[in-house]
Structure 1
Amino acid sequence: MTPGIAPTLAGAARALLVRDARLIWRRRGDALQPALFALLVVTLFALALGGEREALGRSAGAVLWLAVLLAGLLALDTLFRGDAEDGSLEQWMLAPVPLPWLVAVRTFMHWATTALPLLIATPVLAQMLHLPAAQLPAVMVSLALGTPLLSLLGAVVAALTVGMRRSGILVALLALPLYVPVLVFGAGSVAASAQGLDVTGAWLMLGAGLILALVLAPLAAAAAIRISLN
């Protein structure tokens, strides 16, 4: 990497993050929808199970994972949609910085505005579901590793469908098969922790998937954007 490229990459990332933050602030109601949806899912599960402490505690890890996954899926269609409609994606392709870099920055912002607030609120949601305190670290670690992976995989799907209108259902159908392994290892690590088993293997699988996605997902999403806009 030459000395002149790094400042350009940093400057482009900073400009995109500032722009996205301003847009999110203007649309605060829309930005809160994933968090409110996750809270609604948790509340409905608690009501459906009758508020029984033991039943809620046994299923709390899986419920939290489902709530976070569905909340991220709810906002997935808007990941690149607004930029495609106002012509920003074309500007990304003409920018003097690599398109995968801009995709990675946008994906990070998507994670920070949808999954990170839920990650911070997880201890409170866990209390609502009577999650045993000993299992909370397993939930937090699995979500910290799994939610960025979900955002990166979702970015590829959103890029594939960015040129289509009303692609909400299609995005869900394409994303869910990719999300299932993450859900299995994430919720499975919490279940293993509840049984006193070693959860290191599941965390390593999530970590390995996250590293691969960090490298490959922005490249794949950038290629999909180019195909969708041509």
Structure 2
Amino acid sequence: MNAPMSTAPGLFGAAAALILRDLRLLWRRRGDAAQPALFALLVVVLFALGLGGEPQALAKVAAAVLWVAVLLAGLLSLDTLFRGDAEDGSLEQWILAPVPLAWLVAVRVLTHWATTALPLVLVTPLLGELLHLPRAQLPILLVSLLLGTPLLSLLGAVVAALTVGMRRSGILVALLALPLYVPILVFGAGSVAASAQGLDAGGALLLLGAGLVLALVLAPLTAAAAIRIALN
């Protein structure tokens, strides 16, 4: 007799199922999904009004303001990264799944980044026009955001996993995540500032890239360990 075929999903099958589930839930909460983008737009508008709308004054701080807007917008959805799964029992199923927990965490972080940070990166040219960002600085800004925002999501996932067992931990998540986010903000905005001054921005971008590679390896493993501890 032939041995029964295994019906356990592989890594990519489990990833596809999780991404599809997350996208369906996101579509049901379309209003909540738009909050990060609206918050970033609000931050940009407030900075523009606060500086009086002077093009020269706005151009000097445009890159830093856009980085701060993206960073703060990412904090809005950070607390909900794993909380919904913890409340409906999905995290327990993740632990019992025939695929590594760290892999599922990495897939969740990828979905979170693609649905919250990536749209902000795509509309950065439009937000830059509102702040009179010099167009010569836009390529460096986009590269720094494409390297820095996944790193923000990965570090945020570790913080969210550490606090997933706590109730009403929104402020705590922000307090724990902000110190980790500051170096990314410094190198991200600093690369644009260096480019504006005619200096080489490659060093800051390389540091962001190195941090991203390191976080891609360690952050899912750390977050998975934190989830196991929180659920025990």
Match of residue 188, structure 2, among 186, 189, 195: 186
Match of residue 99, structure 1, among 82, 98, 101: 101
Offset of residue 210 of structure 1 = 0.1
Structure-1-length-normalised TM-score: 0.97
Offset of residue 81 of structure 1 = 0.5
**Per-residue Cα deviation, 1:183-212 (whole angstroms, up to 9, x for no partner):** 000010011111110000000000000000
Whether 1:203 and 2:205 are equivalent positions in the alignment is: yes
Matches of 2:180 and 2:192, distance apart in 1:
20
Offset of residue 85 of structure 1 = 0.3
**Code of the aligned partner of 1:229:** L
Offset of residue 77 of structure 1 = 0.2
**Code of the aligned partner of 1:18:** L
SS in 2 for 1:76: coil
Offset of residue 20 of structure 1 = 0.2
**Code of the aligned partner of 2:110:** F
Match of residue 151, structure 1, among 145, 150, 153: 153
Matches of 1:216 and 1:74, distance apart in 2:
24
**Per-residue Cα deviation, 1:61-98 (whole angstroms, up to 9, x for no partner):** 00000000000011100000100000000000000000
Whether 1:172 and 2:188 are equivalent positions in the alignment is: no
Unaligned runs of 5+ in 2: 1-5
Task: Show structure 1 runs of 4+ deviating over 2 A.
Answer: none
**Code of the aligned partner of 2:67:** W
Unaligned runs of 5+ in 1: none
Match of 1:42 in 2: 44
1:1-16 to structure 2, matched below 5 A, reads: 8-16=10-18
**Code of the aligned partner of 1:138:** I
Q: How high is the sequence identity, in percent, across the aligned residues?
A: 80
Match of 2:215 in 1: 213
Matches of 1:109 and 1:132, distance apart in 2:
31
Give the RMSD, CA atoms, in angstroms. 1.1
Offset of residue 218 of structure 1 = 0.1
Offset of residue 100 of structure 1 = 0.2
Match of 1:32 in 2: 34
Offset of residue 119 of structure 1 = 0.5
SS in 1 for 2:86: helix
SS in 2 for 1:20: helix
Count of aligned pairs between the two proteins: 226
Matches of 1:181 and 1:146, distance apart in 2:
10
Structure-2-length-normalised TM-score: 0.96
**Per-residue Cα deviation, 1:93-152 (whole angstroms, up to 9, x for no partner):** 000000000000000010011100000000000000000010001110000000000000
Offset of residue 43 of structure 1 = 0.5
Matches of 2:38 and 2:56, distance apart in 1:
25
Offset of residue 49 of structure 1 = 0.4
**Code of the aligned partner of 1:160:** L
Match of residue 81, structure 1, among 80, 83, 91: 83
**Code of the aligned partner of 2:130:** M
**Code of the aligned partner of 1:72:** G
